[in-house]
Amino acid sequence: MTYQLYYWPGLQGRGEFVRLALEEAGADYVDVARLARERGGGAGGLMKVMADRSQPFAPFAPPFLKDGALTVSQTANILAYLAPRLGLAPEGEARRVFAAGLQLTIADMVAEAHDTHHPIAGSLYYEDQKEAAKARSTDFIANRISKYMGYFERVLRRNPDGPEHAVGDSLTTVDLSLYQLVAGLTYAFPCGMAPFTEACPLLFRLCDAVQTRPNIAAYLASDRRIPFNESGIFRRYPELDQDGTWTVEAA
């Protein structure tokens, strides 16, 4: 049965983490909001589905995935559901639980990245909170990026199955999500991320390996891959970027 992915049209956002898993697996899926309006697409079509009162288990917000009669919401939860079905889950309960924790940690960093340009309220325009965004971005680059990047590098280094993957000995949704996270941060903060290509060699080696996988490479080169833009989570505002640091704590 065809998976139905619901996310805002024109944005990578949190939906992109799900798209990468579906694309890597060659899964049959429809990105519903990108369909024509007469086929239920567009933001209006997405909102109509969310407002459907006949749904007993309504999602709070996109992304959400429909698999037949089942609706699965929240990025990390969707990936936990899809991973074993797409052959992207590690073997064994301990590794699967750890993978779920890593996915939630990635979600934490995505939320922090979003708040660099919307630190006061998501309902306000960026232009209405620029000074607060500058302060938030300064702290994010100085303290938070290194904390997360250092942790992910340690995860790879300590993987008992080898540093080629975050967990287990084969590709998982976590590897794909780490690629998307690093790609997004590098787009948004090219100066801030610059030190980490050398400071986190295993992480960047993983990202290089992911983007050259045949299905992922084909997807990245296709029009299905929405470009990064200043309406998504990862936004490039030059005034928010600055030279990054690699702290002793994160090493």
Choice among 28-32, 39-43, 155-159 with the minimum mean pLDDT: 39-43
46 and 21 Cβ atoms separated by less than 8 Å: no
- 10 with 76, same domain: the answer is yes
Given pLDDT bands bounded at 50, 70 and 90, which one contains residue 244?
Answer: confident
**Farthest-apart Cα atoms in the chain, separation:** 56
State which of 57, 86, 115 marks the end of a domain.
Answer: 86
| pLDDT number for residue 56 | 86
| Res 40 pLDDT > 90 | no
Please give the model's pTM, rounded to 2 decimal places: 0.95
Q: Which residue has the higher pLDDT, 17 or 51?
A: 17
Q: Is residue 251 part of a domain?
A: no
- 18 with 115, same domain: the answer is no
Domain limits for position 76: 3-86
- 134 with 226, same domain: the answer is yes
Buried b (16+ CB within 10 A) or exposed e, 110-145: bebbbbbbbbeeeeeeeeebeebbbebbeebbeebb
- 108 with 138, same domain: the answer is yes
How many structural domains is the chain composed of? 2
| Res 248 pLDDT > 70 | no
Average pLDDT of the chain is 95
pLDDT one-digit tens code per residue, 172-231:
999 999 999 999 999 999 999 999 999 999 999 999 999 999 999 999 999 999 999 999
Distance (Å, whole) CA 74 – CA 105: 14
